[in-house]
Amino acid sequence: MDIFLQQIINGLTLGSVYAIVALGYTMVYGIVQLINFAHGEVVMIGAMVALWVISSLAGGAMPPVVIVLAGILCAIPVCMAVGYTMERVAYRPLRSAPRLAPLITAIGISIILQHVAMLVWSRNPLPFPQILANPIFEIAGATISAVQIAIIVLSLLMMGGLTLLVYRTKLGVAMRATSENPQVAGLMGIDINRVISMTFIIGAGLGAMAGVMVGTYYGQAHYTMGALLGLKAFCAAVLGGIGNLAGAMLGGMLLGVVEALGTGYIGEITDLCHVSGISTALAERCAEDGHMVVFGSNYQDVFAFIVLILVLVFRPSGLLGERVSDRA
Amino acid sequence: MSRFPLPALRLDLVVGAAAVALALTGCGKQEEPPKPAADAPAAAAPAADTVTVKIGHAAPLTGAIAHLGKDNENGAKLAIDEANAKGITIGGKKITFELISEDDEAKPDKGPIIAQKFVDAKVAGVVGHLNSGVTIPASSVYNQAGIPMISGSATNPQLTEQGFPVTFRTVGRDDQQGPAVASYLVAEGKPKVVAVVDDATSYGEGLANEVEKTLKSAGVKVLPREKGTDKQNDWKAVLTKLRGKSPDAVFFGGMDAAAGPLLKQARELGMKAIFAFGDGACSDQMKTLAGDASEGLVCSQAGIPVKAASKSFLDAYKAKFNSDPIIYAPFTYDGANLLIAAMQKADSVDPAKYLPELKKISFDGASGKIEFDDKGDRKDAEMTIFTMKAGVLEPIAIIKGGKSIKFEEFIKGATAEQK
């Protein structure tokens, strides 16, 4: 039982990060129907900037919490600037182009950002400074660290904040209006360009936070870290129903838990020795070794994509999505 | 590092080992005034019946690991100069050895080119190359020309698995490392249950297989293999599963970039097991990647730490080059001396004549006793076990022929032999 609980805790931590990144995908998709594949790279840049700031301030007179906050406060504006520039330079000129054009551009931007990061921050995995004390708590045999609690709590706060922003503010109203029909929203006096820019900026800010959280959690940052994380978050967004905020949050959390449980139990589930009766050769092999695992825990990264395929086959609009995806 | 064609050495690892070596050698040692380097050739007075014998040495002398290449070259140079100073007579003629040093830039494609150069220059033997990835392509050129080569640092098993009769090495192989670290674990940790994890690369999986074999033959229960990838930084799901089976020790075959997060997350999950790694994760990088969790990790490297080489070698090196050897110099020093010793035994500088002597040689070198097996690998090659102590990797034991010797005792023994 403690193993199961531990896997759930692992999954929720991972899922919170996926959810925050997935929000970036889903917000942009909701408004301009573009899958911004460069969003994972924004997360990476957030982690890199924070790493750089934290390691240059570490060892100074400032208390660790202040240093980490300074890192976050530098990472967020940098990522926002990257998000804004990306939209302004690469996507806005293509807004009326066929849907495939901005999609391919997004992949291009992703590759460019990755390699610029490689030139700036080198090819090596960089150690993320571990300056915060990280006490570990025990619940019913499972452990949870302060960093994990912080990740889960911060993610929930950000999700709450974003929901308030979208449903309770003027900008939120403008965003929802633009999402429903950009032309009509424009006729009603909404500055569409500004709303779209803001969407990218907010998504990038969330991405920066996700980057800092991932860096602190794993203790390292690498210029390719955003690619797989971005793809998984995209799967999470599709699972929840892309374009739907609550869907991205639910999808992220679910995906994290599925991944943790899947990795933890796939070896035992696919152990052929459970059914050693079906052939004598197998029985002999099992008597000798005790295990014959078909899929091991190295299939960890596959679960997100299995989920993606299942969703696309059985419920293309996602768990909470109303809009049937007919484009891109 | 057996992932051919990557270089046999990695910089961080080597710098770490060098730092340890420097720290150890720095204290309690008297500075001797450096002798002028030119005195050795002068001692061999030119005579009418003097023959010059060329010996080739190849290593990267430019690029990222140029300092290691120079270290290797110094080792060979020291041996040659000492031989010239002694004045060796072979076949009734006085011999002057000449070291021809070439820069292979650590590039696999440069290996055969340098090798051909040596063949054209009619060298009697070659010491080198430094990297496995360069040595392996070069070795076929030496084999065709019938010129013996001894590498002091190429650890990839493939080098001597090609069946070339002229290929030798004075360091251990990557696949001797797994048994070494496993037997150390068994001897010191006395684990009942061990978990073996790898990164699904040929290096990581190969090393993990060797470890598992040794553990099983020692009667230790090994849990079903868990795998990740070489880019993985989330190990919590795997570790949680392992924690449920409470292993006494965990071995991970892989590189430091994945090993660091693995170790850190294991401690976060409250795992108390001993964590052991191969040379891919035996670097000071582990301290930065895993933080305080790296304390007490166990890892192995091929060969002996430079500090454990014979005192006469260390003193002579210091006197000649006014610096301490970095890592593989004792092995290239031995390599050059082995060539010379075999020539003396055969009383000939003809490769075809002295090669049989080299094969059955038994030689007391700076890195200990050297004998070769049928493949040209060193018999009972030593492996060193390190542990992380206060953020620095320290050698704790030398594994030789399946026996574990405490590092201090090994040093004492080596010094006693010299006296």
Are the C-beta atoms of B329 and B72 separated by less than 8 Å?
yes
pLDDT digit string, tens, across residues A101-121: 999 999 999 999 999 998 898
- Of the candidates B200, B241, B291, the beta carbon closest to that of A130 is on B291
Strand partners, B94: B50, B89
CB pairs under 8 A between A and B: 95
**How much is the pLDDT for B45?**
46
- In the CATH scheme, what is the code of domain B28-171+309-371? 3.40.50.2300
Three-state SS at B221:
strand
**How much is the pLDDT for A299?**
84
CA distance B62 to chain A (A): 21
Q: How far is CA A240 from CA A41, A164, A215, A244, A253, in A?
A: 22, 19, 25, 7, 10
Mean local confidence (pLDDT), A315-320: 87
**How much is the pLDDT for A69?**
92
Q: Cβ of A297 and B226 within 8 Å?
A: yes
- End-to-end distance of chain A based on CA atoms, in angstroms? 43
**How much is the pLDDT for A313?**
92
Q: Cβ of B228 and A297 within 8 Å?
A: yes
Q: Cβ of B200 and A222 within 8 Å?
A: no
Spatial CA neighbour of B228 closest among B270, B194, B189, B257: B257
Mean local confidence (pLDDT), A207-235: 92
Spatial CA neighbour of A232 closest among A270, A268, A197, A262: A262
d(C-alpha A145, C-alpha A138), whole Å: 9
Mean local confidence (pLDDT), A137-155: 90
Compute the C-alpha angle A113/A116/A118, nearest 5°. Answer: 110
| Extended beta strands in chain A, E state | 126-127, 136-139, 142-145, 220-221
pLDDT-derived band of residue A326, with 50, 70 and 90 as boundaries? very low
Mean local confidence (pLDDT), A180-188: 91
Measured torsion, CA atoms of residues B317, B323, B329, B332, in degrees rounded to the nearest 10: -50
**How much is the pLDDT for B231?**
77
- Which residue has tokens 């990280």? A134
Q: How far is CA A174 from CA A28, A36, A196, B122, B403, in A?
A: 14, 21, 10, 83, 75
Are the C-beta atoms of A251 and A1 separated by less than 8 Å?
no
With beta carbons under 8 A apart, name residues in chain A contacting B10.
Answer: none
Domain boundaries, given as residue ranges, for chain B: 28-171+309-371, 175-302+383-418
Are the C-beta atoms of B223 and B250 separated by less than 8 Å?
no
Q: How far is CA A152 from CA A43, A139, A149, B350, in A?
A: 17, 16, 5, 73
CB-based contacts of A7, cutoff 8 Å, min separation 6: A257, A260, A261, A264, A265, B237, B240, B241
Give the burial string for B237-270 (b: 16+ CB within 10 Å, else e): bbbbbbbeeebbbbbbbbbbbbbbbbbbbbbbbe
d(C-alpha B237, C-alpha B335), whole Å: 48
With beta carbons under 8 A apart, name residues in chain A contacting B244.
Answer: 2-3
**How much is the pLDDT for A255?**
95
Are the C-beta atoms of A184 and A44 separated by less than 8 Å?
no
pLDDT-derived band of residue A322, with 50, 70 and 90 as boundaries? low
Spatial CA neighbour of A47 closest among A147, A125, A163: A125
| Extended beta strands in B80-156, E state | 88-90, 93-103, 125-128, 149-151
**How much is the pLDDT for A250?**
94
With beta carbons under 8 A apart, name residues in chain B contacting A138.
Answer: 270
Domains and CATH numbers, chain A: 2-258 (1.10.3470)
Largest Cα separation within chain A, whole Å, is: 76
Number of H helices, E strands in chain B: 15, 17
- End-to-end distance of chain B based on CA atoms, in angstroms? 36
The reply to whether B175-302+383-418 shares the fold of B28-171+309-371 is yes
**How much is the pLDDT for A290?**
67
pLDDT digit string, tens, across residues B269-327: 888 999 999 887 887 778 878 888 888 899 988 778 877 888 899 999 999 999 888 88
**How much is the pLDDT for A226?**
92
**How much is the pLDDT for A19?**
96
With beta carbons under 8 A apart, name residues in chain A contacting B228.
Answer: 297-298, 300
Mean local confidence (pLDDT), A85-104: 93
User: For residue B391, is it left (φ>0), alpha (ψ between -120 and 50) or beta?
Assistant: left
The DSSP annotation for B288-339 comes to HHHGGGGTT-EEEEES--GGGS-HHHHHHHHHHHSS---SSHHHHHHHHHHH
Are the C-beta atoms of B305 and B276 separated by less than 8 Å?
no
The radius of gyration computed from the CA coordinates of chain A, to the nearest angstrom, equals 22
Each of the 419 residues of chain B gets a pLDDT tens digit; together they read 444 444 444 444 444 444 444 444 444 334 444 444 444 444 444 445 789 999 999 998 877 778 888 999 999 999 999 999 998 999 888 999 999 999 998 888 999 999 999 999 999 999 989 888 899 999 999 999 999 999 998 888 889 999 999 999 998 887 888 888 888 888 888 899 999 999 887 778 888 888 998 899 888 999 888 888 877 888 988 999 898 888 999 999 888 888 888 999 999 888 899 999 988 788 777 887 888 888 889 998 877 887 788 889 999 999 999 988 888 899 999 999 999 999 999 999 999 999 999 999 999 999 888 999 999 999 888 888 999 888 888 888 888 766 777 877 777 765 555 44
Amino acid at B134: V
With beta carbons under 8 A apart, name residues in chain A contacting B213.
Answer: none
Was domain B175-302+383-418 assigned CATH 3.40.50.450? Answer: no
CA distance A134 to chain B (A): 9
**How much is the pLDDT for A60?**
78
- Of the candidates B233, B244, B285, the beta carbon closest to that of A218 is on B233
**How much is the pLDDT for B262?**
92
d(C-alpha A45, C-alpha A47), whole Å: 5
The reply to whether ipTM tops 0.85 is: no
**How much is the pLDDT for A149?**
94
Mean local confidence (pLDDT), A159-167: 94
Amino acid at B215: L
pLDDT over threshold 80, residue A200: yes
d(C-alpha A43, C-alpha A213), whole Å: 10
Q: Cβ of A300 and B232 within 8 Å?
A: yes
Q: How far is CA B76 from CA B36, B73, B247, B309, B333, in A?
A: 17, 5, 46, 15, 5
pTM, entire model = 0.71
Q: Which of the residue ranges A77-86, A94-103, B385-394 would you say has the lowest mean pLDDT?
A: B385-394
Backbone phi and psi for residue B369, each to the nearest 5 degrees, phi listed first: -75, 135
**How is residue B189 annotated by DSSP?**
I
**How much is the pLDDT for A219?**
86
